[in-house]
Amino acid sequence: MITNEERSLNFIEEIIEEDLKEGKYEKIVTRFPPEPNGYLHIGHASSICLNFGLTQKYNGYTNLRFDDTNPTTEETEYVESIKDDIRWLGFTWKEELYTSDYFETLYGYAVKLIEKGLAYVDDISAEEMAELKGTPTEPGKDSPFRNRSVEENIDLFSRMRDGEFEDGRRTLRAKIDMAHINMLMRDPILYRIKHAHHHRTGNKWCIYPMYDFAHGQSDSIENITHSICTLEFVPHRELYDWLIEKLEIYPSKQYEFARRNVDFTVTSKRKLLQLVTEGFVEGWDDPRMPTISGLRRRGFTPASIRNFCDRIGIAKRDNLVEYSLLEFFIREDLNKSAWRRMAVLDPVKLVITNYPGGQDEMLEGENNPEVEGGEGSRQIPFSRELWVEREDFMENPPKKFFRLGPGLSVRLKHAYIVKCEDFVKDEAGNVTEIHCTYIPESKSGHDTSGIHVKGTIHWVSVPHAKTAEVRLYDRLFKVEDPGNEERDFKEYINTESLQVIPNAFIEADLANAEHGKGYQFIRKGYFTIDKDSTSGMLVFNRTVTLKDAWAKEIKKG
């Protein structure tokens, strides 16, 4: 697609090409390792595209591995949504795996470490442990239980597994160095006691491995060649390598990149969960959410998200990508594929005074002007009374206003040229009716009038109009980086991020609209059917507006 950049590799591709050149691996194996404690978001999409994209490009495969080592936060609901989202994005994993599948193996690894004198059972409390840990500038101190015998450690560890002790009473720790410059190497906890129900292993286990004793080992078990994660795990790499070395298992290698952030939103699972549980949005798939399911419901396509991820690339520096880039890619995709339809969101009545009352006429409108042949066409009913957009009429229009106003002419899309002769206002001063005359010779496709007008507006025939609920979305937050502000991120929520139009008028053919397809409401934006639609009332979500040069013109003054 981007021919100029075909030769430009990101730093991980460079590493892989080097590895391949040296014959280090025959096949590249990566994994996407979500913890099933939340829904996937746009940041995950970047990681998914990276991991799956790499093995597509370099001939290998990618496993889906659920990192389910903390039973208290993980649920099957999340597992299902994660699988749906990855499939929807268009990727196929080789195997569906769970860290919990390896619990027995991991237990064996722990025993091996104990036997080598590299792990011990500690009895001190969390508070004491924090106390002895030291600080980044001061070394820690050894726990009094650090030098237990191998036999005692084996015995204690097996009794931990057997459920003899209550939560938090004991831990298994690696025996490394309490004065290590890297805090993570100061005898990190390997196992903790948690009498909790696990979403897959049920009540079989009451001890669970920590991330550091699970992730690298799982990578190794699966012969992952390139284990890609985000920057906050850089300091973990030393421990990752240490454990693999001491356990003498397959040496997977960890590489870190900077998580992608998008402006005017948050992508921390904790914060997204708060938005859901505290009712700021309707759910994980609320169209304002940066989740994959939210974007899908909003009307984004898999290709638009993939292209976005490809474009922003990956690197190691902090970043905040502009939302307008995402908008560009969805517009690019939908412009080529979305069928055009007409809908009036904020209606005012237009009466064609010289068009016979009671007469109907069917006009033809192509489905998609971007494609040769228009992908066919649909019939559009036309009559004496039409709904047009309120903003398309001005009583005192400025110079470059190419729409309706006293004496001004416009083309009605797919129909005739009309000239505004008069208008009616109510006591409050609101325009209630626009009176026009039409030029019969100016019919679309058969125009012999010789008249040229600057503007074209959309419309819906009053007697033929159907109604629909239309939901317009704006950014969820009022500031660029809500997660990085002084006050709590929820104080920056945009309370006008959802505008509901209960009774928009849509052209008759839209009654046949299909779920999952994008439609362009001419001059208004791209829309898709929401799952809240019923047989009695269609509900449309606005995915994105069209670019609007006139709105900019007005802004400039």
Indicate which residues carry an active-site annotation: 35, 259, 269
Interaction of residue 235 with RNA, rule CB under 7 A = yes
**Sign of the CA dihedral 364, 367, 369, 371?**
negative
Q: Which is nearer to RNA, 39 or 401 (CB)?
A: 401
Among 26, 167, 360, 364, binds RNA (CB under 7 A): 167
What minimum distance in Å lies between the beta carbon of 464 and RNA? 19
Interaction of residue 408 with RNA, rule CB under 7 A = no
Helix (H) or strand (E) holding 30: strand 28-32
What minimum distance in Å lies between the beta carbon of 11 and RNA? 6
The answer to whether 64 and 53 are in contact (CB under 8 A) is: no
Nearest in space to 295 (alpha carbons), one of 262, 319, 255, 259: 262
Residue in the block written with tokens 């093995």: 55
Q: Which is nearer to RNA, 99 or 286 (CB)?
A: 99
Q: Report 262-301 residues binding RNA (CB under 7 A).
A: none
- Span of 176-184, 246-254, 282-290, 490-498 interacting with RNA by CB under 7 A: 176-184
Q: Which is nearer to RNA, 13 or 282 (CB)?
A: 13
Among 20, 111, 124, 508, binds RNA (CB under 7 A): 124
Among 56, 105, 158, 182, binds RNA (CB under 7 A): 182
What minimum distance in Å lies between the beta carbon of 129 and RNA? 5
Q: Which is nearer to RNA, 325 or 539 (CB)?
A: 325
Interaction of residue 181 with RNA, rule CB under 7 A = yes
Interaction of residue 107 with RNA, rule CB under 7 A = no
- Span of 113-121, 197-205, 331-339, 352-360 interacting with RNA by CB under 7 A: 331-339
Nearest in space to 438 (alpha carbons), one of 508, 380, 385, 364: 385
Q: Which is nearer to RNA, 193 or 292 (CB)?
A: 193
Measure the N-to-C terminal CA separation of the chain; round to a whole number of Å.
Answer: 39
Q: Report 15-44 residues binding RNA (CB under 7 A).
A: 17, 33, 35
Contacts within 8 Å (CB) and 24+ apart, 160-167: 160/121, 160/191, 160/193, 160/206, 160/207, 161/107, 161/205, 161/206, 161/207, 163/195, 163/206, 165/193, 166/193, 166/195, 167/193, 167/194, 167/195
Beta strand 518-521 pairing with 339-341: parallel
The answer to whether 294 and 503 are in contact (CB under 8 A) is: no
Q: Which is nearer to RNA, 286 or 436 (CB)?
A: 436
SS (H, E, C) 238-300: HHHHHHHHHHCCCCCEEEEECCCCECCCCCCHHHHHHHHHCCCCCCCCCCCCCEHHHHHHHCC
Please give the Cα distance from 236 to 256 (Å, whole number).
Answer: 10
Interaction of residue 144 with RNA, rule CB under 7 A = no
**Sign of the CA dihedral 223, 224, 226, 230?**
negative
What minimum distance in Å lies between the beta carbon of 223 and RNA? 20
Interaction of residue 403 with RNA, rule CB under 7 A = yes
Among 295, 314, 348, 439, binds RNA (CB under 7 A): 314
Among 443, 509, 510, 518, binds RNA (CB under 7 A): 443
User: How are the residues of the chain apportioned to helix, strand and coil, as percentages rounded to the nearest 5?
Assistant: 35, 25, 40
Please give the Cα distance from 494 to 480 (Å, whole number).
Answer: 12
- Span of 122-130, 247-255, 464-472, 499-507 interacting with RNA by CB under 7 A: 122-130
**Which residues on adjacent β-strands are paired with residue 498?**
473
Q: Which is nearer to RNA, 167 or 532 (CB)?
A: 167
Interaction of residue 522 with RNA, rule CB under 7 A = yes
The answer to whether 300 and 543 are in contact (CB under 8 A) is: yes
Interaction of residue 10 with RNA, rule CB under 7 A = yes
- Span of 156-164, 279-287, 527-535, 547-555 interacting with RNA by CB under 7 A: 547-555
Q: Report 465-504 residues binding RNA (CB under 7 A).
A: 484
Among 98, 208, 477, 540, binds RNA (CB under 7 A): 208
Among 258, 273, 479, 539, binds RNA (CB under 7 A): 258
Interaction of residue 130 with RNA, rule CB under 7 A = yes
Q: Which is nearer to RNA, 311 or 498 (CB)?
A: 311
- Under DSSP, is residue 310 helix (H, G, I), strand (E, B) or coil? helix
Interaction of residue 137 with RNA, rule CB under 7 A = yes
Interaction of residue 158 with RNA, rule CB under 7 A = no
Q: Which two tokens stand for residue 304?
A: 């638009």
Q: Report 411-440 residues binding RNA (CB under 7 A).
A: 411, 413-414
Please give the Cα distance from 117 to 147 (Å, whole number).
Answer: 9
Interaction of residue 549 with RNA, rule CB under 7 A = yes
The answer to whether 280 and 273 are in contact (CB under 8 A) is: no
Q: Report 49-68 residues binding RNA (CB under 7 A).
A: 67
Interaction of residue 450 with RNA, rule CB under 7 A = no
Rg, C-alpha atoms of the chain: 31
What minimum distance in Å lies between the beta carbon of 307 and RNA? 9
| DSSP annotation of 35 | -
Helix (H) or strand (E) holding 504: strand 498-506
Interaction of residue 317 with RNA, rule CB under 7 A = yes
Q: Which is nearer to RNA, 286 or 541 (CB)?
A: 541
Q: Report 451-470 residues binding RNA (CB under 7 A).
A: 455-457
Beta strand 189-193 pairing with 538-544: unpaired
What minimum distance in Å lies between the beta carbon of 428 and RNA? 25
Q: Report 341-380 residues binding RNA (CB under 7 A).
A: 369-370
Among 164, 316, 356, 441, binds RNA (CB under 7 A): 316
